[in-house]
Structure 1
Amino acid sequence: MCGIVSLYNKRNVPVDQETISSLTRVILHRGPDDDGFHLADNVALGFRRLSIIDVSGGHQPFYNETKDIWIIGNGEIYNYQELRNWLIDCGHVFQSESDIETILHLYEQVGFDAPKHLRGMFGFTIWDGQKKLLFGARDHFGIKPLYYTETADSIAVGSEIKSLLELPGVKREVNPTSFYHYLTFQYVPDPATMYQGIYRVPPAHYFVIKDDQITLQQYWEAKFTPDESKPFSYFVEGTREVLLDSVNKHRVSEVPRGAFLSSGVDSSSIVGMLRTFEPVKTFSVGSDIPGYSELDYARRTAQYLGTEHHEVIVNAQHYMKELPRLVWHQDEPVADPSAILLNFVAELASEHVTVVLSGEGADEFFGGYNIYREPHSLRMFAHMPGWLKSSLRSFAEKLPDHVKGKNFLIRGSKTVEERFFGNALIFSEELKAQVVTENLRTSANYRSPWTITEEIYKRASEYDDVTKMQYLDIHTWLRGNILMKADKMTMANSLELRVPFIDTKVFEFAATIPTKYKIANGTTKHVLREAMKDFLPPEIKTRPKLGFPVPTRHWLKNEFYKWAKEIIFEAKVDHLINKAYVLYMLDEHREGHGDYSRKIWTILIFMLWHQIFIEQKYSFEPFVSPTVEIRRKKNASMQQIG
């Protein structure tokens, strides 16, 4: 696990060492163990290393036998041993045991098809001195981040936006369209970012930089292929088999491992399966507010599974103290309060291990979100004629908000494409009109959230409604929220996070499960629960999904209220946000006249991000967490004992 930066000079001028060093230095937290550079022609590669595989010999960049093809990479390739053996048989000579070097020789063998052969998480760049091009790719689901930007002089690609911001000529400007979409989704959907002129390399895409231009190409697509001919037992047994294989593959490392543990099926399943292979250290986080902590359940699960368990409790003061630094680590605003909470359990884990396994992706692959049950609850509307649905909607919209059943009628009269924008829908279009300034509302930058979801729904047009929702979440929520916070908050603590559910082999099997076996028996991800029942305490197997509860609703009425008012007044965003309406929501929330916590938090995180990155009110130096030094000393002591 590492951080990478690549720089291509369009004027065919050699890149200065200090320039690439400055772009690499700012992501010290992603790789505190080592750095490495390669400068050739008009290209520079910069690398920060967190040592996981081939600790002694895995220094990057790697090069081929003739030293005219070089690679830097971030991530882990879980099938690298099989690929390595095949490539050796093909005549390739390796200089290390590193999985990243395998990608280099794979590129020599199959060219731009290399990413198709990889099983794992990755973002990498290859300089091909023979063909004078930069080639790189991002993994199938977007587990690892990869961004790019272009100036008059250069094209830059990196693991984090903060590296690109160090490049002369890159402007710190808000993308107004991204701001609009952020208000809907609580993150900025691919391929845009919150910055004008900075973009993500989308998951399952590779890029080529040649002749002063960057082009992108998709190399893989997630497709659901439900098999109605197989019995329920087939999918239960197959799920157990493919997940055990994935967990085993995700164990590869030369450093200590552990796992995050909440109170739900997903993380508990990972720990239960991992426990069949080795002793496990587990890590949990909770709040000090009653009703907002799952630590009791996690503790009992750890005891049942026999793990070495560690936990941390976070209060409002601790959360608030760390918030600015963690928004800096995120690069762009993500208004998921649990993203910040994730940092604290990552910090705890980093004292003990270098790698953690976690349960992200199970909901999207196996049908776990409670909202996926909605098509079943709305089935009475499925065969109604369009005119009747339209009449019901018109009638319901005229009802007072407090009338029971109003929202049910409105949602039932809409298609899934009309009502579902993913797991978060923060501001409706009507409320956006209240929150943004009039100048922004009437500008040409406005884009409906339909411009994001419409194309995705078109590709899923043949699926049933539940599968459409899964497909949309895989292409928006999973990559934009879940995986982004997982990467940024763990790497802030120099900790590698691995997600065995988010694996191409796992998805290929999960994609064959019919909806009738995913949403069944009054619950979600029914197949997964049955497949994992032998690994879990009985109380966890049937537990509904709770997520990562954070008491922002409570804190905004109390501990965070004064801070919230201050940031609303101080942030220089009057050209974007109607502050009077935000203050109105804050006071209405405090007085208990409505729950505006998600909406207020979305605005506050954007304002704080704006102060950090646009106004540059805060300054953060490259930083390695003290817990990493504690871990290093422990590891060194263990090695001496060994």
Structure 2
Amino acid sequence: MCGFVGFTAVDFDRETNKAVVKDMADRIAHRGPDDEGFFVDDDIAMGFRRLSIIDLEGSRQPMQNADGTVTVTFNGEIYNFQELRAELEALGYVFVTNGDTETIVHGYEAWGTDVFEKLRGMFAIAIWDAPKKRLVCARDLFGIKPFYYQHDGNRLIYGSEIKAFLAHPAFAKELNREMLPQYLCFEYMNDSQTMFKDVHKLLPGHFMVFEDGALNIECFYHITYKIDESKGLDEWADEINRVFDESVAAHEIADVEIGSFLSGGIDSSLAAYCMGQHAPDIKTFSVGYDIGCEDKLAEIDALPDFDIKLNELDDATAFAEWAQLPNFQTQVSAEEFLDIVPTEQYHMDEPLGAPSAIPLFFVSKLAREQVKVVQSGEGADELFGGYWIYHDQFEFDKYFKVPRPLRAAAGAVAEKLPPFHGRRFAMRGSGGPEKSYQRASMNYMWDEIPNVLKDYAGPCKPWEWCKPHFDEAAKQDLDIITQTQYVDMVSYMPFDICLKADKMSMSQSLELRVPFLDKKVLDVALQLPTACRVDDDHAKYALRVAASKLGFQKKVANMPKQPFITPLTVWLQTDLYYDRIKEAFTSEAAHEFFNVDYLVQMLDDHKSADFSTVEGRGKLKMMRIWNIYCFLCWYEVFFGKSSEQLKPKTKVA
């Protein structure tokens, strides 16, 4: 795991380019504290930071072929590099290192851009083809590893993190204000665009070619379902166990010690268990909270009709004891959680309103004290149907049998009425599946955006951002549940789940590997019948049966889906959080973007909300509040007074 930066050298002389690319690489030193490397000529500057995992003494980057015509920087791991190496050696290529990077070098020589679809692993790659003066870049099919770029005429700036771009004197930093409504709805950027104007993400499963100032982007992998109804639930569970265990083993390839995150839920527990079968002393790492607020917690615990789980360390401890795995834990206090937000947003590069990023930060910090690499359970929900949104789609599937004009009329009426039970359902059901699509984390419904944003003309139509994905899924003749999973896999997973997993782990110089997000595991997931993924009573049905077959306790195998838990709902009622967030909500930046009175009213409503009544709980606005607070912290880091320290160090004429 590493990080890289680069740019086509059109602005300055070679010595200046060396200084600029060094400054850019220094901005992402946390991604690779073990080594650095550079390649600079008249056409391109490439920089690299290395976290040494495989072939510790060799495999330095940028790496070149024998005659220097191909130069590669690569972030990630290729798990089938040994098989590809044997194939390339049979073609006559000679290897001088023992790592996976050289497989990409010679793979590009042998197969050109076809090499990308041969790779099994997580990767972002930049290849300089000197004879053709061509830059070729690619990103893995899941979007596990980040890749950003800005194209401006003959100049292309690219890298693992946007903050590196700020070190380039020709980079014009500008807020992409048009993305703010989308961020408020989804809590992340549901698009190739970012909150920095003209800075884009290379989409998962795509490669791009930059040559003679022109940028061309192509897809090398399409997610395509091939449902196989010939096997029963038990057969699919056995197949999942077989392929996942093999994936975990492949993800264990390293020349350093590897550990595992462990939340106590089924996904991370499966990863840790399989690792433990291969290496019994594998270390596991868990995060929980020093919540405080004892009076409030006692009040909540006494409520017969309100079940809110605020800590998962007990589950992690119980599973680790059952599986006989060493478990190391850390607890985060309310003050630590709040204090780290600016640092979290700095490392994210893009504003992210998901509270779950913060426990990821702290558990990564804990793990890095003992290991360089961990495995984790990201991706299981998207591949195997773990979210309760998929159950919602059962109901919408029935509702869609009502003629669309009637549904549209009901939705239009509901939108004009005050909140009532069923209002959101009527609004979401007024169109096609792209309108019913609603993440549990979708903070603001579209009708709320004009209330939140200052001078917003609207209308806000978040479903239009999802419609192209649903249109693509519809071409495969999929049911609405599978369509929704497809959309999650191509949007929510890369733009939220994978992004925060990478950025939070790499902030601590920790490589995070995700064995569920593997080509062979995906091949099985894409064959599963819907009934083996989701039914009226189960989510991740086949995966849970698979865990039961391994002997998992029912409590773990049947544990309902939990988000990465945080006590924010309770903490936001404390003076510490109220005062800090109110200061942000009444700041100069808040006045620039938001209707401040609306923000403060939300904050007041949440602070005074009574957990003991349904009406009181209706005033809890944790996700809405946190979403905006995170944006304001991000804005201060990158555009406020704090951003002065991010200006370029290299002086140019």
What residue in structure 1 maps to residue 41 of structure 2? 40
1:372 aligns to 2:390 (yes or no)? yes
Contact 1:3 1:30 in 2 (8 A): yes
CA deviations 1:496-541 (Å, max 9, x no partner) are: 0000000111111100101011113611011111112215232100
Partner of 1:346: 364
1:587 corresponds in structure 2 to 604
Q: Deviations over 1:187-224 (max 9, x none)?
A: 11231000011111111111111112322111111111
- Deviation of residue 370 (structure 1)? 1.2
Post-superposition offset of 1:39: 1.1
2:85 is matched with 84
Q: What TM-score, normalized by structure 1, do the two folds share?
A: 0.92
Is the 8 Å Cα contact of residues 240 and 531 (structure 1) preserved in structure 2?
yes
CA contact (8 A) 1:248 1:277 kept: yes
Unaligned residue ranges in structure 2 (runs of 5+): 292-296, 298-308, 610-615, 648-653
Farther-moved stretch of structure 1 (174-183 vs 282-291): 282-291
How far off is 1:414 after superposition?
Answer: 5.1
What is the CA-CA distance between 1:11 and the residue it aligns to?
Answer: 6.0
Q: Is the 8 A contact 1:10 1:155 kept in 2?
A: no
Contact 1:152 1:169 in 2 (8 A): no
Q: Offset at 1:574?
A: 2.8
1:321-379 deviations in whole A, cap 9, x for unaligned? Answer: 22211211111110000101110000000011100000000000000101111123455
Check if 1:330 corresponds to 2:348.
Answer: yes
Q: Distance in 1 between matches of 2:399 and 2:225?
A: 25
Are the equivalent residues in 2 in contact too, given 1:292–1:550 (CA < 8 A)? yes
Cα 1:507–1:541, aligned 2, differ >3 Å: closer, same or farther?
same
Tell me the residue number matched to 2:288: 286
Q: How far is 1:416 from its partner? A: 2.6
- After superposition, give the CA deviation of every residue in 1:19-60 in whole Å (9 maximum; x if it has no partner): 110010110100000000111232111000000000111211
The aligned amino acid for 2:461 is S
Q: Which residue matches 1:227?
A: 228
Provide the secondary structure at the position in 2 that maps to 1:197.
coil
CA distance in structure 2 between the partners assigned to 1:259 and 1:36 by the alignment:
30
- Structure 2 letter corresponding to 1:4: F
Greater Cα offset, 249-258 or 531-540: 531-540
Instruction: Find the residue that maps to 2:593 and give its secondary structure.
Output: coil
Q: Which residue of 487, 509, 513 corresponds with 2:524?
A: 509
What amino acid is aligned across from residue 499 of structure 1 in structure 2?
V
Q: Could you tell me which amino acid in structure 2 is paired with residue 420 of structure 1?
A: Y
Cα 1:398/1:455, change in 2 over 3 Å: closer
Give yes or no for contact 2:389–2:438 (8 Å, CA) kept in 1: no
Deviations 1:116-154 (A, max 9, x none): 100000011111111111111011110000000134663
- Tell me how far apart the structure 1 counterparts of residues 427 and 155 of structure 2 sit (CA, whole Å): 50
Quote the residue 1:615 is aligned against: 640
Provide the aligned length of Structure 1 versus Structure 2. 617
> Who is 1:6 aligned against?
6
1:553 match: 569
CA-CA distance at 1:606 after TM superposition:
0.6
- For residue 600 of structure 1, give the secondary structure of its aligned residue in structure 2: helix
The 5-angstrom pairing of residues 161-560 of structure 1 reads 161-279=162-280, 280-289=282-291, 291-378=309-396, 380-386=398-404, 388-390=406-408, 392-393=410-411, 401-402=419-420, 404-408=421-425, 411=428, 415-438=432-455, 440-441=456-457, 448-461=461-474, 462-520=477-535, 522-533=537-548, 534-558=550-574, 559-560=576-577
- Determine if contact 1:225/1:512 at 8 Å carries over to the other structure: yes
Q: In structure 2, what is the Cα distance between the partners aligned to 1:190 and 1:610?
A: 19
Give the residue type in structure 1 aligned to 2:166: L
Residue identity in the other structure for 2:542: V
- Aligned counterpart, 2:651: none
CA contact (8 A) 2:391 2:535 kept: no
Is the CA contact (8 Å cut-off) linking 2:396 and 2:429 kept in structure 1?
yes
Report if aligned partners of 1:36, 1:47 keep a CA contact under 8 Å in 2: yes
The amino acid that maps onto 1:551 is P
Is contact 1:150–1:156 with CA below 8 Å preserved after alignment? yes
Residues 185 and 445, structure 2, Cα contact 8 Å, conserved in 1: yes
SS at match of 1:337: coil
Q: Distance in 2 between matches of 1:535 and 1:331?
A: 42
Paired with 1:422 and 1:586, the residues of 2 have a C-alpha distance of 23
| Mapped partners of 2:410, 2:605: distance in 1 | 31
Q: Match of 1:134, SS?
A: strand
Alignment of 1:20-169 (within 5 A): 20-151=21-152, 154-169=155-170
Equivalent residue of 1:74, what SS? strand
Please state if 1:567 is matched with 2:584: yes
Q: Deviations over 1:423-481 (max 9, x none)?
A: 5321122110011111x436xxx763233111111001121111011011111110111
Give the corresponding residue for 2:304: none
**Could you say if the C-alpha distance between residues 151 and 167 of structure 1 is closer, same or farther in structure 2, counting changes exceeding 3 Å?**
farther
CA–CA distance in structure 2, aligned partners of residues 223 and 379 of structure 1: 22
Q: What CA distance in whole angstroms lies between the structure 1 residues aligned with 2:202 and 2:413?
A: 45
Report the CA distance shift for 1:400/1:452 in structure 2 as closer, same or farther (over 3 A): closer
